[in-house]
Structure 1
Amino acid sequence: MAAVATVLLPSAMHRVSPSSLTRSLAFSIGDDGFRLRSPFNSRRVRDSSSGNSRIAVHCVSNTGTSRDKLFPLASTSTPCRTIHSGFKQSFPWRELSARFVATEAVANDAVGVPSLPQEEMPPRVYTWPYKKNPRVCILGGGFGGLYTALRLESLAWPDDKKPQVLLVDQAERFVFKPMLYEILSGGTYMPKPIECIIDMGNIYSKRWIQTISAEVDSWEIAPRFADLLSNTAVQFVQDRVKVLQPCDHLGINGSAKSDSAGTVLLQSGLLIEYDWLVLALGSETKLDVVPGSAEYALPFSTLEDALKLDSKLRQLERRNFSKGSPISVCIVGCGYAGVELAATVAERLQDRGVVRAINVESMICPTAPPGNREAALKVLTSRKVELLLGYFVRSIQKTSDSDSEKYILELQPAERGMQSQILETDLVLWTVGSKPLLSELEPREQPLELPLNARGQAETDETLRVKGHPRIFALGDSSSLRDLKGKILPPTAQVAFQQADFTGWNLWAAINDRPLLPFRFQNLGEMMTLGQSDAAVSPSFIDGLTLEGPIGHTARKIAYLIRLPTDEHRVKVGLSWLTKSAIQSIASVQDTLTKIVSGS
């Protein structure tokens, strides 16, 4: 009996009856499986061996993984509306909605089809809701991009000049990166009603079991864009930017009543025409630095990175319980990210592991205020973190034995008089080096017409407009704006926060023919986490003051709570944190009473 693959649409039902199927997978909007990109992309592919045509629908999983779903074409003799060779005209692609449900149908001879020759479809043009209002496209949903969109939404506009705002990001969620470390921190002891735990055939005493409870939940620091923008007019498209083709430098004014100021082509084939463009693509960790770093080192920049590291640490912790072997972690880089990561991981592992931090410079956090550096050094020392200063990693190799995988790091001294070292470790974390994603874009017909510096950042004037492009603004890691001392502003969240405020205002001013404001960075101080109840905060308004320990930790969390994107999200997160704090307090009291009763 032939299997039937059904595609349900708001207006019609279509059936495909392939002769034989090897697997089927249901997917829909909001599931953990694959879902359609919106607007979605499709194309025909042809099996070079059999000559059969198929329809490939581009889908993406909730984790950001992209792939093509292949649908065999039905025979024209099928007694219903069919998907046939003229599907571009007959199949109502644009009627798909969030209620789309489909079943993937892959025939026996379809295995390996994604590598078959494909017939490229022409780009699909994004349809803006209104014809006359200015079209603002924001590339990147980090601090710079999302907060610019929210700033535009908060301003007062004349009805005929209120912009249509489209936010594009390759991820489904906004990530509050300064709090990624809290995904790893936790380790609250939770008493269990049993005296032992059986794991992998072994029995362990309850006193050795420690439940790792993250200090924050993923939704708190990584809310979905759809949720954040639900009460706004900002539209969101999850896709990767592929090609940027500005034309405002050619004299086209870009107003809504004339030609566009340029186009953006997305990976799915969607083409966006814009009047105003904001470049806020951010950056990613540069891993391909030394032999083996790209293959064996883990970055720590995205939510996926944090969850992957947490999962890896859990595996190592289970191994430690079963075999008693200590966990070894090497962290490359002792800037803010490396030091915060070292303090957090060392606190989590405690006496079950050894954390080593490697830095080419002779000190940790060389750009940090002295108070923050001293507080961090004190915490690292108390947690027995080994600092290998004045060394750089020459190579990373993988080795394995019968028990587990290990990695070998070859260290070379940065100065004379020091000996090279060889380290064996279970885990390598890489926190040095980054590359702006703006430099990864492709020119469509000619070289990218943007002035970029050596790092691939757009050169801007003091109003954050890209030089030579009156319709393009750049901020955050995509911008190379210099401060009053001539130094390029650091790629920090604080800089992006402030630039987003100015970018939103200057877009309002440009659209309304008002003077633009020059951006001036105001350093409000620096903060760093040093564990679940430890942090260092150096506010700029009081010279020499550094808040450490629980006070610094509380001040840091309050500051970041205030900086969360929307009022609704701030309220939900604040209530969640209060609830967790109460539960932890009760658990702590219960643990203390248990020890008193047991006489320990």
Structure 2
Amino acid sequence: MRGIVILGAGYGGLAAALELDRHGIPFTLINREPYHTFKTLLHEVAGARHDPHTYALSLADLFHRETSEVVVAEVNAVRLSDKLVETNRGAISYGTLVVALGSRTATFGLSGVAEHAFRLDSLRAAMELHHHVERELERYRQTGDPVHLNVLVAGGGLTGVELMGEWADWLPKRARDLGLPVHDLHLGLIHAHAEILPDVDHQLRAVAQAKLSERGVELILNERVAGAEPGAFILGSGRKLEAGTLVWTGGVEAPALLQEAGLPVDNRNRVDVDEFLMAKGVPDVYVIGDCARFTAAHGTPLPPTGQVAEQMGHHLGANLVRSAHGRPPLPFVYHDHGMVASLGPRYGVAEIGTHHATGATALVLKDGSKMKYLMHLGGPVTLLKRYRQWLEI
């Protein structure tokens, strides 16, 4: 019997699956890994704030009904005409398909960037990036070449800023622990515009820039990365910036397999969806999270954020429950709960509606959002077990 198949256990896919699980509606969840990753916290993994395993939740611990099935597999293709999903473990048929495959880092065809720069788009990638930086510190100890203490992050959006904020706190401490001269450490954040964090209020951008500069981060503004080669970013101005660590956080795009399947996509492979999150012109296929291009009331597509994906997943899951009980679906309405950017473990900036917060107050808001999310995932047991591991001691 063809039922509901959900592709991806990110913020959106997991929210939809949990809603179905709570109501005993049968579904199959296909995910590449046997765990859900706290993707919005990967900068903490790269900065060694906590054990990396703290940032993953086993899917087996989240679903307990016999009606809930989890398949650990790689999705290779979607065949709309046959209602089949092709995976590396065989084909799976569906009656209703939910596409929630998240996004990947987009390099926009820039020469050498994919080959020579790290990306921060998975738990494995964050761990590899951390291990690389540790190796660079050791190479400096062996050679004395300051290029190994030169770290460049391209992209001044939320991902790049939070990563650089984390490293501005961790790397000087780590260098001192290893007996390395901190004055040779150089952290550079490259951004194509005059101000970082383009999606927040101007005042908060200024605060974030000042805080990063105060902590030794060089802000390389109004400079666009044109390409990369081993150990260097090439800028549009012709400048060549050498570093032992190159990180690209310049944007995201949905997986190419969505376009290959024949779904209606934009230039970032996002699928156009209607007010019920169904792919336009494709019945029985819903798309949520970073894979969806949903145009809100203000006329612009919703951004690829965790809170957008989670709200979409929760809403779609509730609509699928309504459908199972013969009730009509409700249109999706997004509620912006604000944005919090951490600049390391002790400082942050937050924008909640018209209200702003900085410093420790902003981090309290971020911790509150963590607690709320954990409660939503697994109730008090998951909250106490996981949040205790995140507490600063």
Give 1:306's aligned residue: 126
SS of equivalent to 1:294: helix
Q: Matches of 1:173 and 1:435 in 2, distance apart?
A: 22
Tell me how far 1:324 sits from its aligned partner.
Answer: 5.0
Query: Where do 1:119-518 residues align within 5 Å?
Result: 131=1, 135-155=3-23, 162-185=24-47, 214-230=48-64, 233-247=67-81, 262-268=83-89, 270-287=90-107, 289-322=109-142, 325-326=145-146, 327-350=149-172, 351=182, 353-398=185-230, 407-413=231-237, 420-437=238-255, 439-441=256-258, 448-518=261-331
Q: Deviations over 1:88-131 (max 9, x none)?
A: xxxxxxxxxxxxxxxxxxxxxxxxxxxxxxxxxxxxxxxxxxx5
Tell me how far 1:513 sits from its aligned partner.
Answer: 2.5
* One-letter amino acid matched to 2:378: T
Q: Matches of 1:340 and 1:430 in 2, distance apart?
A: 13
Q: Matches of 1:423 and 1:264 in 2, distance apart?
A: 44
Check whether the contact 2:3–2:95 (CA below 8 A) recurs between aligned residues: yes
Task: Please identify, of 315-324 and 381-390, the stretch whose mean Cα deviation from structure 2 is larger.
Answer: 315-324
Q: Deviations over 1:196-222 (max 9, x none)?
A: xxxxxxxxxxxxxxxxxx323223221
* One-letter amino acid matched to 1:379: K
Tell me how far 1:466 sits from its aligned partner.
Answer: 1.5
SS of equivalent to 1:299: coil
Check whether the contact 1:526–1:538 (CA below 8 A) recurs between aligned residues: yes
Check whether the contact 1:409–1:423 (CA below 8 A) recurs between aligned residues: yes
Distance 1:390 1:467, change over 3 A: same
Give 2:361's aligned residue: 551
SS of equivalent to 2:115: helix
Distance 1:150 1:391, change over 3 A: same
SS of equivalent to 1:295: helix
The one of 524, 530, 533 equivalent to 2:337 is 524
Q: Relative to total residues, which structure has the larger helix share, 1 or 2? A: 2
Normalised to the residue count of structure 2, the TM-score between the two structures is 0.90
Gaps of 5+ in 2: 173-181
SS of equivalent to 1:546: strand
Q: Matches of 1:277 and 1:238 in 2, distance apart?
A: 17
Tell me how far 1:364 sits from its aligned partner.
Answer: 0.8
Q: Matches of 2:344 and 2:135 in 1, distance apart?
A: 21
Tell me how far 1:569 sits from its aligned partner.
Answer: 2.3
Q: Deviations over 1:223-244 (max 9, x none)?
A: 2222333467421111111221
Q: Deviations over 1:481-535 (max 9, x none)?
A: 1000211111100101111111011112223331211111111110111102222
Check whether the contact 1:346–1:353 (CA below 8 A) recurs between aligned residues: no
Q: Matches of 2:218 and 2:99 in 1, distance apart?
A: 40
Q: Matches of 2:54 and 2:68 in 1, distance apart?
A: 21
Q: Matches of 1:342 and 1:139 in 2, distance apart?
A: 32
Q: Deviations over 1:36-90 (max 9, x none)?
A: xxxxxxxxxxxxxxxxxxxxxxxxxxxxxxxxxxxxxxxxxxxxxxxxxxxxxxx
* One-letter amino acid matched to 1:317: L
Check whether the contact 1:244–1:442 (CA below 8 A) recurs between aligned residues: no
SS of equivalent to 1:362: coil
SS of equivalent to 1:477: helix
Give 1:68's aligned residue: none
SS of equivalent to 1:174: strand
Give 1:597's aligned residue: none
Normalised to the residue count of structure 1, the TM-score between the two structures is 0.60
Q: Matches of 1:354 and 1:468 in 2, distance apart?
A: 51
Distance 1:455 1:410, change over 3 A: closer
Q: Matches of 1:223 and 1:521 in 2, distance apart?
A: 26
Tell me how far 1:165 sits from its aligned partner.
Answer: 1.0
Check whether the contact 2:77–2:257 (CA below 8 A) recurs between aligned residues: no
Q: Could you say which structure has the greater relative contact order, defined with CA pairs below 8 angstroms and 6 or more residues apart?
A: 2
Number of matched pairs: 378
Check whether the contact 1:242–1:442 (CA below 8 A) recurs between aligned residues: no
Q: Percent identity?
A: 28
Check whether the contact 1:300–1:431 (CA below 8 A) recurs between aligned residues: yes
SS of equivalent to 2:57: coil
SS of equivalent to 1:518: coil
Q: Matches of 1:577 and 1:452 in 2, distance apart?
A: 38
* One-letter amino acid matched to 2:249: T
SS of equivalent to 1:298: coil
